[in-house]
Amino acid sequence: MGMSRVWSKSDKDGPNSHVNEKGIGWIIGAVFIIGETAGGGMIALSYALTSMGLIPGLILLLLCATFSCYTALELSWTWKIMQNRWPDYRDHCRKPYGEMAYRTIGPKMRSFIAFMICITQIGFATVLVLLAAKNLSIILHFFFSVDINQCYLILIVGLAVWPATMLKSPMHFWQAAIFSAGSSTLAVILVIVGMVHDAPVCASDVPHEAPEVSKAFMAFGTFVFAYGGHATLPTIQHDMRKPAHFVHSILLAIAFCTALYMCIAVGGYFVYGDTVGEAIIPSLQVQWIQQTVNLMIAVHVITTIVIVMSPPIQQVEQILKVPHRFGLKRFLVRSVLFWFVIFIALSIPHFGPFLDLIGASTMVLMTLVLPPIFYLSIRTQELKWARESEKPDTADVTQERASLREVLHLTPKPILILNAAILIFGIIGGTLSTITSIVRLADSELAPPCYYQYFTKGLPFHGDNSGSVSCCGVYRNLTVSGQDPLGYCANPDF
């Protein structure tokens, strides 16, 4: 890497802030974050809040929002410092998150990050594929009276998304981000309309059971998943016209997502209570709203898969030295990675337990644990560089990494305390939530893998999808439209 350092005090964005003429603006950057973040986790928030209880759940949700926003800002500041210090990072960089690990901790951490990004984003993409297939199943049943087996729908989703994964990087598929953010926003608006419609009947007899500790830990995984797009953030920032403006993108996106999340979570708690399942959509009793929301979420997750797959694709292409231009190598590498995601989805064809596990494990690490470590280290290095640059005839110190003692000595106490709180919150919460999610996944009565079904007893093309409504009320048999709950409600309890 180049070692030159040029200070431009006239630049309002700080020293060495540069312009990528072909990059995206900060508003489109915010749209990318919203498009990637608000979707799969959003529809599970009512269930998570109800599982924890209103006050503890809101406190945890706001803590996740605050801490996730701050660690996203730390990633932004870290990348800005690195681009200022090493100008080579201003050119195309396929794995900025990994380079942060290298510059702050060392080459072994860079290799570990490459592995973790692949695991996290592949897990994230798998959840989205499963959700897209589930929603597509409901849409086909409702609009066309066609019932297709979930396993075949996973393959259909794969065939639909596969060509879009060949696009180079986020700046080349910004339209997908707009579709993704727009569809999720419209979905939230329709969910709110549906809840308002159902509230006079459902809120009059809303059940609330006592919170359980195990469900509270799983809720932690859901909340982190809802904000867990950090592995992609450096890639988006790198593709911006002015990377220094990425902080504006983060603040706008997190504030917008939190507003959406609060509406969904709190509304679902007061209107439906414990009748809400892993997703809030089946609880909506106006069926055209329910199915339109299903359609919007399907559009959202299908377009988001393209964004989510970008970091692991960039990592693997860097390792295999795949040319930047489109060619046979790119096609083969991206095809293998994407169809590996489809294979995992065919192996675990249920999104709920898998969502909690990914949110509680790898996303906690990438969202709450590593960003503070990177930022405190690079911030300390920058202070050391500034001091050394004032001394005549000193050796270049750009390769020297900060020690723990230096970080503790040179970091202001408020910043240290805040980052220590985030680390403790992430490590303890993530560990307990991961254990709980693994136990739940092991105890769940999950369908066997699709390919196992196919080779052992055959896999029928037609599925069994009743499209029933999760009716509200203590006995789960209240219908807003006055319909007979028999044959309409999913699980009435008479």
Cβ neighbour number for residue 143 with a 10 Å cutoff: 11
How does DSSP classify residue 392?
T
463: in domain: no
Which of 91-100, 274-283, 364-373 is predicted with the least confidence, judged by mean pLDDT? 91-100
Does the residue 138 lie in any domain?
A: yes
| Residue 271 belongs to a domain | yes
DSSP assignment letter at 148: B
pTM greater than the 0.95 cutoff: no
| 285 vs 296: CA distance, rounded Å | 17
Residue 8 inside a domain? The answer is no
Q: State percent of the chain over pLDDT 90.
A: 29
Write down the H helix ranges in 86-149. 96-104, 107-144
Residue 163 identity (one-letter amino acid) = P
Per-residue model confidence (pLDDT) at position 49: 92
Amino acid in position 88: D
**Mean pLDDT taken over the chain:** 83
Q: Which residues pair with 24 in a beta bridge?
A: 240
Total domain count, the chain: 1
Quote the domain boundaries for residue 67. Answer: 26-389+399-445
pLDDT tens sequence across 363-404: 899 999 999 999 999 999 988 888 776 665 544 545 578 888
Residue 387, by phi and psi: left (phi above 0), alpha (psi -120 to 50) or beta? alpha
Return d(Cα 216, Cα 52) in angstroms, integer: 5
Residue 4 lies in a domain: no
Q: What is the dihedral of CA 225, 230, 235, 238, to 10 degrees?
A: 140
Sequence-distant (6+) residues with CB within 8 A of 140 are 146, 147, 148
> Which pLDDT band holds residue 475 (cuts at 50, 70, 90)?
confident
User: At residue 160, what is the residue type?
Assistant: A
What CATH number corresponds to the domain at position 38?
1.20.1740.10
pLDDT score recorded for residue 458: 78
80 phi and psi, to 5 degrees?
A: -65, -45
Tokens at 45, concatenated: 């928030």
Burial class from Cβ neighbours inside 10 Å (0-12, 13-18, 19+) for residue 203 reads middle
Question: Would you say 309 and 337 are in contact if contact means Cβ atoms under 8 Å apart?
Answer: yes
Question: Is residue 407 in some structural domain?
Answer: yes
Has residue 379 been placed in a domain? yes
Asked if the structure places residue 168 within a domain, the reply is: yes
31-47: average pLDDT: 82
pLDDT, tens digit (0-9, with 9 covering 90-100), for 180-230:
788 888 888 999 999 999 999 999 899 988 887 777 777 888 898 889 878
